[in-house]
Amino acid sequence: MFDRLDRDDFANVAKIIGAIILVVSLFLPAVTPGYPQSLRDYLVTNDAYHGWACVAWTLWGSVAFIASLFNPSGQGVNFFFVVSGWITPLVVVFGAVADNITAKRRFARALPFLMVFPFLFFASPEPGWGPGPFRPLIGHYVWTVGCLLIFTPQYAGMLRSKRKNDNESPGEH
């Protein structure tokens, strides 16, 4: 059954699995305020925010951030929080909607760097939005894996072109 599948087929299967994982992550507990009291607090907690709430909350934080630029006396919003809010919409746009291969590949290169921003938000002493500090839960990690898996075809293509360039001699084109 698998003998007729090539790397591109496996990359596309990984993309579909990533999309399913991303959707599932929206219904898992993603973040919770406060500090953990035990190992169990990282997996199960009563005051967790689910992934869909995080997406909505961080997008609303973007609106608040823009508003704070025009009203300096208002409450500021953490920049890391704002950037975190744009990851999911950009993954959906570039992973599912966009047809431009170059744009998908560029976003795939930027995505691992963007994934650092939520962790910088969790590490920042001033959360800038809501009750803080926050800590990630299982849904956040599942969301991260889903986002990265969606771009497996682009990562596979980048690795394939890198290997091809490495195998060429300096005089060949």
Q: Tell me: the pLDDT tens digits for 78-137?
A: 778 888 888 998 998 888 778 888 888 889 899 999 999 888 888 876 655 454 578 888
pLDDT reported for residue 142: 94
Q: Where exactly are the structural domains of the chain?
A: 2-159
The mean pLDDT value for 16-30 works out to: 92
Q: Other C-beta atoms within 10 Å of 128: how many?
A: 19
Residue 42 banded pLDDT, cuts 50, 70, 90: low
pLDDT at site 143? 93
Closest CA to 62 of 17, 14, 106, 128: 128
Q: Quote the pLDDT of residue 166.
A: 58
Backbone phi, then psi, for 94, in 5-degree steps?
A: -80, -30
